[in-house]
Amino acid sequence: MARAVTPRRKALNTALAWAIGLLIFFPILWTILTSFKTEAEAIASPPLFLNFDWTLENYAVVQERSDYMKFLLNSVIIAGGSTLLGIIVAVPAAWSMAFVPSRRTRDILLWMLSTKMLPAVGVLYPIYLLFIRLGLLDSRAGLVVVLMLINLPIIVWMLYTYFREIPGEILEAARMDGAGLREEILYVLTPMAVPGIASTILLNFILAWNEAFWTLNLTAADAAPLTAFIASYSSPEGLFYAKLSAASTMAIAPILILGWFSQKQLVRGLTFGAVK
Amino acid sequence: MGQITLERVSKSFGHTEVIPPLDLTIEDGEFCVFVGPSGCGKSTLLRLIAGLDDITSGAVLIDGQDASDVPPAKRGLAMVFQSYALYPHMSVRKNIAFPMRMARIPQDEQNRRIEAAAKALNLTDYLDRRPGQLSGGQRQRVAIGRAIVREPSAFLFDEPLSNLDAALRVGMRLEISELHERLRATMIYVTHDQVEAMTMADKIVVLRAGHIEQVGSPLELYRTPRNLFVAGFIGSPKMNLIGGNEAARHDAHTIGIRPEHIDVSEDGCWQGTVGVAEHLGSDTFLHVHGTGFGGTLTVRTTGEVTLAHGDTVRLLPRAGRIHRFDASGLRIV
């Protein structure tokens, strides 16, 4: 029996949801607000909420001191490249696991996911040495490969879940209709899995965009993405909160906007398979 | 051309042998039905012919050529699935065109065949719809259309009517039979429904636990079932099976008599009491108890008999219609 929802209860629920949402959003809001303060106002105690002299000065300084567009381009290339490469590798992998599973498929999936539990710092040294040997240090190509590998388990796992929802008989029908493996994946499986592939791409693009450990450790100047751009404002000669906030705001703005416009896809992607 | 031969074909999943080695030939142009209870291996056998599953040993020959290692896409067979297995993201037209697109048939020819198939299957008005917008019967017709246009050497049907309601099933059964008359192509049809088998087949293959119990025309199976299993499986209502003294009187372990071969008659040699009388209008099925044989006898009689619960009847089996079986269940000739 469905529980009756009184208008009072509904209003209470809405208020509660807003409160929790604001609480979670508060750090980001505070960063954005701080970016419009002077350095003195930024560290003022008690903190100033809206009653300060709004200024764009920090943005001007940040723009002057560093080339935002270069960092942005690097972020786009690294996040986009690693996601694209990951999808190309993961689609056939997920296909074989979903449609021709062997006795070990389950184990392989769990093992793949278990690599995500490994602290990244544990393999920093070997990867750093490899990068020096291969001349990949501070290169976008190197980061594309590393971030692709870092996120590959998640991409494979997500695609596997989507592919499992597609009835195997449809793929068998394609085979009977004369489709080879390439045509089967290209004309039948992929179009049916488009919503799933789209949310996988989206989620992984965001993960790669936000990734800070490897991007900070393996880049210096040429390949540095927006994460390095933010980090460069926590300088040894003292913290400049207002400028750091301005840089942060500029770095998260593109992904925040992307996320806003694709929230439907994202939510579907994250909860997929939860309810059948 | 479409002769299909199975030579010592077997299939195991791990250590479980689901189909022990069997031989079977399906002639060109024949309508062959695989029938048996669920789990008898009939669908597996069809999938082995299709190439969707690999055979464990033996060989599948298509027109005399060994096709055992040929992938399904290259065997030149078309299959209609129980779930229809249409491509949900394509229109009906594109679904039907798909096998021709794979075979790189010129666009003009594709259109010609699509129009012809749509006309034959009453789909002309639905060509631009998606499968999701069609009824079950229409979907199954699309699946059949998709199979026809590639002009395969043989059609494989895997319980194609099981998802349809009873009325539609009868209609589609006739359509498939007519299709066979028109195309004269080899068709292999899997079903658990013996009525479908009897009404459609040129040749019926009765399977149980992966074994072929009997192969023959519908009337051969009806008249001379080779064993008790086939005797009980073919025919509706089921054949009456009687053991004990009555069977011994006929020098058999078990005797069988079909409900339609027992007459209600004054000078009948068997006597019993009517339990339930099922009046179908055209026929009446009497379930007769207390015959002294143990169990109930089913009798098929004319539609307008007025016998009812509790009436005593005398029953007369028709001469020459009693089937005799030995202790191992085999027919005594």
The tokens for B240 are 């009456």
B222 touches chain A (CB under 8 A): no
Q: Are residues A71 and A197 in the same domain?
A: yes
B70 touches chain A (CB under 8 A): no
- pLDDT band for position B327 (cuts 50, 70, 90): very high
Cβ neighbors of A108 (< 8 A, separation 6 or more) are: A97
Q: Are residues A11 and A83 in the same domain?
A: no
Answer yes or no: do A173 and B88 touch at CB < 8 A. Answer: no
Residues of B in contact with A167 (CB under 8 A): 83, 85
**C-alpha to C-alpha distances, B81 to B4, B84, B121, B153, nearest whole angstrom:** 20, 5, 17, 17
B52 touches chain A (CB under 8 A): yes
Q: How many CB contacts within 8 angstroms connect chain A with chain B?
A: 60
Residues of B in contact with A174 (CB under 8 A): 87, 98
Q: Are residues A97 and A188 in the same domain?
A: yes
pLDDT digits 0-9 by tens, B130-183: 998 998 889 999 999 999 998 899 999 999 998 888 888 898 899 999 999 999
Q: Give a yes or no: residue A271 inside a domain.
A: no
Q: Give a yes or no: residue A200 inside a domain.
A: yes
Examine the pLDDT at A19 and tell me if it is beyond 90. Answer: yes
Cα nearest neighbour of B149 on chain A? A177
Cβ neighbors of B300 (< 8 A, separation 6 or more) are: B237, B258, B259, B260, B262, B283, B284, B285, B286
Answer yes or no: do A178 and B150 touch at CB < 8 A. Answer: yes
Answer yes or no: do A178 and B103 touch at CB < 8 A. Answer: yes
B72 touches chain A (CB under 8 A): yes
Q: What is the mean pLDDT of chain B?
A: 92
Examine the pLDDT at A271 and tell me if it is beyond 60. Answer: no
Q: Are residues A52 and A78 in the same domain?
A: no
Nearest neighbour of B83 by CB, restricted to A167, A177, A183:
A167
Q: Are residues A52 and A72 in the same domain?
A: no
Residues of B in contact with A195 (CB under 8 A): none
Residues of B in contact with A191 (CB under 8 A): 89
Examine the pLDDT at A3 and tell me if it is beyond 70. Answer: no
Answer yes or no: do A173 and B87 touch at CB < 8 A. Answer: yes
Predicted pLDDT at A196? 84
Q: What is the mean pLDDT of residues B112-126?
A: 92
Cα nearest neighbour of B155 on chain A? A176
Total domains in the fold of chain A? 2
Q: Give a yes or no: residue A260 inside a domain.
A: no
Predicted pLDDT at A270? 57
The tokens for B133 are 């917008």
B99 touches chain A (CB under 8 A): yes
For residues A255 and A207, the answer to whether their CB atoms sit within 8 Å is no
Answer yes or no: do A178 and B146 touch at CB < 8 A. Answer: no
B275 touches chain A (CB under 8 A): no
Residues of B in contact with A172 (CB under 8 A): 52, 72, 79, 81, 85
Q: Are residues A71 and A51 in the same domain?
A: no
B309 touches chain A (CB under 8 A): no
Q: Are residues A197 and A176 in the same domain?
A: yes
- pLDDT band for position A6 (cuts 50, 70, 90): confident
Q: Are residues A71 and A53 in the same domain?
A: no
Tell me the nearest-neighbour CA distance from B192 into chain A, angstroms. 20
Range of the domain at A125: 66-232
What span, in angstroms and rounded, lies between the C-alpha atoms of B60 and B188?
14
Q: Are residues A80 and A156 in the same domain?
A: yes
Predicted pLDDT at B127? 94
Q: What is the mean pLDDT of residues A166-189?
A: 90
What span, in angstroms and rounded, lies between the C-alpha atoms of A48 and A242?
13
What span, in angstroms and rounded, lies between the C-alpha atoms of A91 and A186?
11
List the CATH number of the domain containing A142: 1.10.3720.10
Nearest neighbour of B50 by CB, restricted to A167, A176, A192:
A176
Q: Are residues A95 and A23 in the same domain?
A: no
What span, in angstroms and rounded, lies between the C-alpha atoms of B216 and B228?
16
Examine the pLDDT at A273 and tell me if it is beyond 50. Answer: no
CATH no. of B4-231: 3.40.50.300
ipTM for the predicted complex: 0.85
Spatial strand order in the sheet of B323-325: B240-242, B254-257, B323-325
pLDDT digits 0-9 by tens, B261-270: 999 988 888 8
Cα nearest neighbour of A168 on chain B? B85
Contacts with A, B 103-122, CB within 8 Å: 103
Nearest neighbour of A177 by CB, restricted to B52, B88, B98:
B98
Nearest neighbour of B73 by CB, restricted to A169, A178, A191:
A178
* Per-domain boundaries in chain B: 4-231, 238-325
**C-alpha to C-alpha distances, A38 to A44, A47, A147, A245, B288, nearest whole angstrom:** 10, 12, 36, 11, 102
Q: Which of B196, B215, B184 is nearest to B45 (CA)?
A: B215
Nearest neighbour of B87 by CB, restricted to A175, A178, A188:
A188
φ, ψ (nearest 5 deg) of residue A237 = -80, 20
Cα nearest neighbour of A176 on chain B? B73
Answer yes or no: do B71 and A172 touch at CB < 8 A. Answer: no
Rg (CA), chain B: 23
Residues of A in contact with B83 (CB under 8 A): 167, 169
A67 touches chain B (CB under 8 A): no
Q: Best of B87, B90, B104, B149 to disrupt the A interface by mutation (most A CBs within 10 Å)?
A: B87
Q: Are residues A74 and A192 in the same domain?
A: yes
pLDDT digits 0-9 by tens, A99-133: 888 889 889 999 988 888 888 888 889 999 999 99
Q: Give a yes or no: residue A250 inside a domain.
A: no
Class of domain B238-325: mainly beta
What pTM does this model have? 0.77
B50 touches chain A (CB under 8 A): yes
Tell me the nearest-neighbour CA distance from B154 into chain A, angstroms. 12
Name the range with the highest mean pLDDT among A41-55, A164-178, A217-231, A239-253.
A164-178
A173 touches chain B (CB under 8 A): yes
Q: Best of B81, B86, B113 to disrupt the A interface by mutation (most A CBs within 10 Å)?
A: B81
For residues B311 and B285, the answer to whether their CB atoms sit within 8 Å is no
Between A37 and B46, whose confidence is greater? B46
Q: Are residues A206 and A98 in the same domain?
A: yes
Residues of A in contact with B52 (CB under 8 A): 172, 175-176
Half-sphere exposure of A159 toward its Cβ, with a 13 Å CA cutoff? 29
